[in-house]
Amino acid sequence: GWLHWERFLCGTDCAADPRRCVSERLFVEMADVMVAEGWRDAGYEFVCIDDCWMAPTRDERGRLQADPKRFPSGIRRLADYVHSRGLKLGIYSDVGNKTCAGFPGSYNHYDLDAQTFASWGVDLLKFDGCNSGTLELLAEGYRRMSLALNKTGRSIVYSCEWPFYLRPLQQPNYTEIKQYCNHWRNFFDVYDSWSSIKSILDWTALHQDSIVKIAGPGGWNDPDMASIFVFLSQLVIGNFGLSWDQAVTQMAMWAIMAAPLFMSNDLRRISPEAKWLLQNKETIAINQDPLGKQGYQITKDKNFELWERPLAGQAYAVAVLNQQEIGGPQNFTFPLTFLGNGLACNPACSVRQILPASRDWGVYSWVSSLSVEVNPTGTVLLKV
């Protein structure tokens, strides 16, 4: 889907800049563009509101309320409009007594807020972890909101920040987190920069032994859903900070990592190249593969990293990432026995390149090697 945070932040001055303000208008226009420009047909179905949508106080009955100037029709009417376009609406709250931007949080209001979101027709809740007090209160809040959402009887995707806020102090229990959450953020906000994307990839590779095994249908690691991509891990493709090769790397690696694909960009002003990349059906198919296994790094050799992700139908997605930031394209050669514990190409396999451009590479035997040319900070994504 699409999320406002990384691109639009906490813009609340609609008089000064109505097109960049967090408002009803912004989400209606994004929903319209998602339908008109093929995003919905490519699989992007959520329009997500992040922080700063609320009025500064709850209403007289203790319920959260949208800012009346920026959301004059209310969230229920906005949800109805988004649903009429064949899309789903996401919203934001916080486990603590205030959100990260200082608006009312859900502490001591978990059941009421869940009922409110359900009555509005919300389809996803991003639940942040600011101002939560102790780790015990943080964990209790995430559990209670999960149970409260289920009690409403409405299907609402539950996006947690739980492990991100735990990690500085203790190792998250991912088995427990998956019992309560549909996806969970592990790392810092994604920024519109190569250093941010690189740090997320490095962190994921470093911690893959603890996070890869838990991912699967119903529960996903989110590199950032700010946040990505993630994450939500947000996809910052289509903004200003990434080169073309770096944008290809983010799309390819988020597909390998089975990350939720939430864009944070301005779909009203996106380049044809960024649109092509974000709507690339073969890459999205890898990301959304029904087997639901997260990919992992197989080997690292100087500046090159080799990643694989098992797919349905005995296939594998393979990414060759060149972390070098200087010079020109370089070749990386590896034996096909590296893939799938030696079984991916036994006795033979077909290889198709997906990114940065699609083309068939033909059939290879089990004892063959592949040589892949990759641009600096770029990635070649293959399907084997």
> Which residue, 288, 316, 340, sits at the end of a domain?
288
Query: Taking all residues of the chain, what is their mean pLDDT, rounded to a whole number?
Result: 93
Q: Are residues 58 and 141 in the same domain?
A: yes
Q: Are residues 91 and 231 in the same domain?
A: yes
Mean pLDDT value of segment 231-248: 75
Q: Are residues 270 and 159 in the same domain?
A: yes
Q: Are residues 64 and 210 in the same domain?
A: yes
Q: Are residues 137 and 11 in the same domain?
A: yes
Least confident of 32-41, 203-212, 234-243: 234-243
Q: Are residues 218 and 301 in the same domain?
A: no
> Which residue, 244, 267, 288, sits at the end of a domain?
288
Q: Are residues 351 and 269 in the same domain?
A: no
DSSP code at position 366: T
Distance of CA 98 to the CA centre of its chain: 24
Q: Name the domain count of the chain.
A: 2
Q: Are residues 232 and 326 in the same domain?
A: no
> Which residue, 258, 288, 318, sits at the end of a domain?
288
Q: pLDDT, tens digit, for every residue of 120-141? A: 999 999 999 999 999 999 999 9
Give the confidence band of 229 by pLDDT, cuts at 50, 70, 90.
Answer: very low
Q: Are residues 191 and 230 in the same domain?
A: yes
Q: Are residues 187 and 330 in the same domain?
A: no
Least confident of 35-49, 105-119, 225-239, 286-300: 225-239
Q: pLDDT, tens digit, for every residue of 344-363? A: 999 999 999 999 999 999 99
* pLDDT recorded at residue 188: 61
* pLDDT recorded at residue 157: 98
pLDDT at 258 over 90: yes
Q: What is the pTM of this model?
A: 0.93
Q: pLDDT, tens digit, for every residue of 288-316? A: 999 999 999 999 999 999 999 999 999 99
* pLDDT recorded at residue 39: 98
* pLDDT recorded at residue 234: 64
* pLDDT recorded at residue 27: 98
Q: pLDDT, tens digit, for every residue of 51-74? A: 999 999 999 999 999 999 999 999
Classify the phi-psi angles of 366: left when phi > 0, otherwise alpha if psi is within -120 to 50, otherwise beta.
Answer: alpha
Q: What amino acid occupies position 154?
A: R
* pLDDT recorded at residue 53: 98
Q: Are residues 164 and 31 in the same domain?
A: yes
Q: Are residues 95 and 230 in the same domain?
A: yes
* Percent over 70 (pLDDT), the chain: 95
Q: Which CATH number is 65's domain given?
A: 3.20.20.70
* pLDDT recorded at residue 189: 66
DSSP code at position 98: B
Cα dihedral 239, 240, 246, 249, rounded to 10, equals -10
Enzyme catalytic residues: 128, 189
pLDDT at 105 over 80: yes
Full domain range(s) for residue 307: 296-383
* pLDDT recorded at residue 223: 78
E strands in the chain: 2-3, 46-48, 88-94, 124-128, 157-160, 183-185, 220-222, 296-301, 304-311, 315-322, 330-335, 348-355, 359-365, 369-374, 379-383
pLDDT at 231 over 70: no
Q: What amino acid occupies position 359?
A: R
Q: Which CATH number is 346's domain given?
A: 2.60.40.1180
Q: pLDDT, tens digit, for every residue of 161-202? A: 999 999 888 999 999 999 999 999 886 666 778 888 899 899
